[in-house]
Every structure is written in C-alpha cells, then in structure tokens.
Amino acid sequence: MTERIESAPEWAAVRSLVKSVDLAAEFSSDSRRAEDFTMRVGDLLIDTSKNLWTREIRTALAEVARRADVAEAWRRLRGGEIVNESEARPVAHWALRVPVGSSAVVAGRDVSTDVHEVLGAVSRFADDIRSGRRTGATGQLFTDVVNIGIGGSDLGPAMAYDALRAFRTGPRCHFVSNVDPANTRAVLHGLDPARTLVIVSSKTFTTAETMANAVAVREWIVDGLGAGAVSSHLVAVTTNTRAAASFGVDPANVFGFWDWVGGRYSLGSAIGLSLVIAVGPVAFGEMLAGMHLVDEHVSQSVDQPLANAPLVHAVLSIWYSNFLGAETRAIVPYAHDLHRLPAYLQQLDMESNGKSVDRVGRNVALSTGPIVWGGPGTDGQHAYFQLLHQGTHLVPIDFIGFARPVDGDQERHDALMANLFAQSQALAFGRPLDASLPSAEHRVFTGNRPSTVILAPALTPSVLGQLIAFYEHSVFFQGAVWGINSFDQWGVELGKDVAHGIGQELVDGRHHVSDPATRRLIEWYRSHRHRSVE
C-alpha cells in the first residue's frame, strides 16, 4: 500500500469521533457493553470494555483496518511472500508451529518437512539430556544448562522458562545475555562444568556480545575439564555451521533455523532448545499448538475485523497512539511467573514498530510503536500505579490474569486476582470528591483510565503460546495499518558499528572517534580503567 492511511477518509472519520468518553455513562446506558466488548480466542478472554471507545469508534477503526487492507497483508505473510522488503525476506515464524502433515509454503517451497526435522532433532537431543542417555565428558549427568544469546535468542527462552516454572521436569536453565562480565560470573557461580551444558544461540555465530560471552564460558569449561571436553559440553543454534565447528561445537550438535525467522519471533524454533530441555518436548509442543490455534483464528477472521481479537487489540492501540496521544502502554501480568513478559513484549513491539520510515522509504507522519513497559502485579501497585491512577499521562494498560494457580494455594491466588479486578475497576470509574475526608482533593480519582483485561484458566504451555501469538499478530496488524516494515531492525545496527571503533580506542588510545564529547569520556575512562576499586 502506497497510500498514506492518514489521508484516507476512513481515518478522517475516526478523527471526527475523538471526544471525551465517560466510562461510567457508557456502562450505564449500554447494558450489553461488558459482553459485547469481550472477545474469545482459544482459552483467552479479552475484555476491552473499560477502554475509552464506543461501538461507533470501534467500527470506524475497523474500517481503517479495511482501508489499509490488513487482510491482504496477512495473506501475503501467511503465503510466504517477501514482506520484509528492506532485507528481501519472507517472514514465516507461523511455519514453526504448523502441525505435522500441514503444508507451510515459504518463497514457493513447502518448508514443513524441514521445520519438523529440526524440531524432531531438538526433541531427541532434549530427551537424551533429560533421560541421562547423553552425559558430559566425565560421564556425569547434566544438571544445568547455560543459554548464551541476546535479544530474541535470550528474551524468549528466558521468559518462557520462568513462565512455565510449574512444568519444569529437566535440568535447571540459566541465561547469559549481557556482555558485562558480572552477568557471566553470576550465572556460572556455583555451577559444575562437568554437569553443565552450554547452548550458544546466534543466527550468524558472529553476534559480538554473544560470542564474547561464549568465549568466556568455553574458557570456563576448558579450565575445569580440559580442551577435550568442549565438544561434549557445547551446543550451537545457528545457521553458520562452519563457524560453530571452528568454535569447537560438534557438527552433530548444531541445530539450524532459517532467515525467515526473526529473532524476536524465534522461540518456537531451535532457539527454544533450553526450554525443551527444561519442560520436555510434549509441553513445548503444546506451546506451539497454542500459537497455531491463534494463527488459525486470525486466518479465519482476517476479513472480519471486529471478530479478529488481535486486530481489535491492534486498532485499539492505534486509537490511543494516533488519536488520543498516548505514548506508552503498560503490560501488567498478575502472575509472578510472567515477570519477564513485559520485557519480551517490549522487544516484540518496539523493535518491530519503532520505525520512522514506511515500506517505500518515506518519513512517516504518524506516531508508530508505543513505548511498552510494565511489571507484575501486585508489586506495581506499590510503585508506579500512583501515576496510573492520579498522574497526568494517559497510559492504557493490559492486565493479564488466570483463574487458577498452577501449583495450588487458591486462597492467595484469589487475593491476587481480587487486586487485578479492583485495579481495573478503580482506574475506570475512580472516586469523586468526598469533602468529609481530610485532604479531600488529594483523594479524588478521576477515573476514565483505560485498561484491557486478558484472562485464561491457567498459565499452561498452550496458554503461553496463545498469549505470545496474540501479541505477535496485534503488533503485525498495527504495522500493517501504519504501512511500515515490522520485521527489520536496522535501528540496532548503528550503535554496534560505532562500538567497534570505540572498542579499539579503549585499548590502543588512538583516536577512532571524531566526536569531542565522546572522546573526552573515553579519555576519562582510560585514565581510570586500571585503578583498583577503593
């Protein structure tokens, strides 16, 4: 689409509807609002009724999605066409979760057999580790797994490992991503190299931070077990088999994936190896099935915007970003095991849609990609919720909760969920001035603070997969409306390029940097880098 969506009459129609929405009045005048603004997909119940919109606004936003032809954008994605134009690649993370026997055509070729061959190899390897059929160089069982990656090679597996805590039945997993030596030291502290398997996850096997950490951990293995042990303790997930072999990885222990899988969409690929080892192939397969369930929901309803749950979520986000001026969105799971989910969704959304040019290279005229942040409830209630309730910023919130705890203690879980429901209600309806109270004006809550509530029966592998796919599709549809490429990430490259030159200057002192301010900082750093900590 080369037309700018903001020039379309459908966009103007939405703009004409911008007004103050009184949630209390909307619920009072519409007895079916709660029911009609609630959607279901798989096990997910998505309640959008406490948002600042009306039926008319929702319908008008759906027409914007039609005008942007998001259905065709989805069909091109699902058809394996090149939709990442700047890198001339198709995008097919959806192919990672098609069932056995189903086709997945990418760039004119059915890749389903390739996908299931790799997933089968991952499952067999994981079963060998979990059962003890595969051991370390000294014959001892693996009790710990260290996953070395960054970005999508870390955030996805780490998030899912914590989220599926109750389903872990294999070795403990640990995650190294930050090139700060403190990260590696903290992870390796107390681990026995003889019982530790190391997974190096890097598509190209050249990612600077990942390889620096991999070198450090390989040295830890060599120091503890000798150079001959490396091949028994190192595994690679990469497309660069030759580089992995040169690093000491047995080619039989290299698991590949494809350039049509972006890092932030790669959890369902071999990148999830650490998770498969932790929870087992069956649970991992249930997660993939949950993702596929939402994929199918989107395929079946893509021509019916108001029946497509991720698309409704997407246009709601566009409503806040482009018409009401909201710059952020908070993700607040009332589940400690999902404490990493906000960071995972932060990358998914901000790396996908944080773009300032459209698909044909024109500067965008609209705000794209909200700032995504958040943390688990109820901790947030005693931190940033003051701003959400009484601050001056409009912050739409996604609350996520579950009917049952995965490991008992329903009584405390009830208390947790009471807080979720209370926060959503209090934000929406507030509290008026009560002059009988001391400092009465400070106790006023204006209400009309929007939130979406997403509920599921329990945090199972399938439900986790459904949540991930739900947000993936919401992010995709937002990008499709804005006319941007949601699948490249050139914004991460410049800093890496500059860091290479600066890294040389930190060592040799020769000027590689023309910026005088940065040069002064480097000079200060070099003058202090060898001083002992006092």
Given 117, 219, 493, 496, the catalytic residue: 496
Q: How many helices (H) and strands (E) does the chain have?
A: 20, 15
Given 26, 209, 286, 351, the catalytic residue: 351
Sort 48 into a burial class: Cβ within 10 Å, 0-12 / 13-18 / 19+: buried
CA nearest to 125, candidates 105, 139, 108, 145? 145
Q: State which H helix or E strand residue 33 sits in.
A: helix 33-36
50 as an active site residue: the answer is: no
Residue 321 is classified by DSSP as I
Convert 129-165 to b/e letters by CB count within 10 Å (16 or more is b).
bbeeebbbbeeeebebbbbbbbbbbbbbbbbbbbbbe
State the Cα–Cα distance between residues 267 and 152, nearest whole angstrom: 8
State the Cα–Cα distance between residues 147 and 274, nearest whole angstrom: 7
Compute the residue count for the chain.
Answer: 534
State the Cα–Cα distance between residues 234 and 514, nearest whole angstrom: 41
Cis link prior to 239 (omega < 30° from 0)?
no
CB neighbourhood size of 228 (10 A): 9
State the Cα–Cα distance between residues 64 and 366, nearest whole angstrom: 14
442 as an active site residue: the answer is: no
Give the CA radius of gyration of the chain: 25
Q: Record the tokens describing residue 378, joined without a space.
A: 């109820």
382 as an active site residue: the answer is: yes
Write the DSSP assignment of 49-61 as a string of letters. TTSS--HHHHHHH
Which residues are part of the catalytic machinery?
A: 351, 382, 496
